[in-house]
């Protein structure tokens, strides 16, 4: 059984909810990622912010990127998985919820992130095909 811990990206970066959108965008640029977990001052996961969120809910709405916080536009967490979760369940969750990134937690702490590229690199073709059909094949 392949688990979340085996396929997740553990070396991830996060942004605090009180950091501004310019900081979040710079972190994404510097680390070449399209999304960041958003955590509070205690390190508790409170949401995810994507590059699209910054553009659509920040730039396009005329927000001051140095004054608008990541927490104010972060998407709340739809789901998380435990580090020991089976890959088939992970594919099902991501497909059913049509999400491309899934936070991984252990003992309530954020320990990694699974993205569609993690699936493509680490799971069998049948799992990837199922994920693609669920996320991109729906009308």
What is the domain partition of the chain in residue ranges?
4-136
Kind plus residue range of the DSSP H or E element containing 50: strand 45-50
CA distance 30 to 20: 16
* Average pLDDT value for the chain: 90
From the candidate CATH numbers 1.10.238.10, 3.30.830.10, 3.40.1440.10, 3.10.580.10, the one assigned to the domain spanning 4-136: 3.10.580.10
CA distance 45 to 123: 26
pTM: 0.83
Instruction: Give me the pLDDT at residue 63, please.
Output: 93
Residue with more model confidence, 96 or 137: 96
| Residues 82-92 pLDDT 10s | 999 999 899 99
Residue 98 DSSP class: T
Residue 6 has pLDDT above 70, yes or no: yes
Instruction: Give me the pLDDT at residue 138, please.
Output: 62
Residue with more model confidence, 100 or 18: 18
Which tokens hold the place of 46?
């409170």
| Residues 42-73 pLDDT 10s | 888 989 999 999 999 999 999 999 999 999 99
| Residues 17-44 pLDDT 10s | 999 999 999 999 999 999 999 999 888 8
């Amino acid at each position: 059984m392949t688990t979340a811990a085996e396929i997740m990206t553990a070396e991830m970066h996060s942004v605090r909810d009180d950091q501004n959108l310019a900081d979040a965008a710079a972190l994404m640029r510097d680390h070449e990622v399209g999304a960041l977990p958003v955590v509070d001052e205690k390190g508790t996961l409170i949401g995810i912010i994507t590059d699209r969120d910054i553009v659509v809910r920040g730039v396009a709405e005329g927000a001051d990127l140095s004054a608008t916080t990541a927490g104010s536009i972060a998407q709340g967490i739809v789901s998380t998985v435990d580090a020991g979760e089976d890959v088939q369940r992970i594919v099902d969750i991501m497909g059913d919820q049509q999400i491309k990134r899934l936070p991984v937690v252990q003992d309530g702490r954020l320990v990694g992130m699974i993205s569609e590229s993690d699936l493509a690199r680490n799971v069998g073709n049948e799992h990837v095909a199922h994920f693609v059909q669920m996320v991109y094949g729906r009308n």
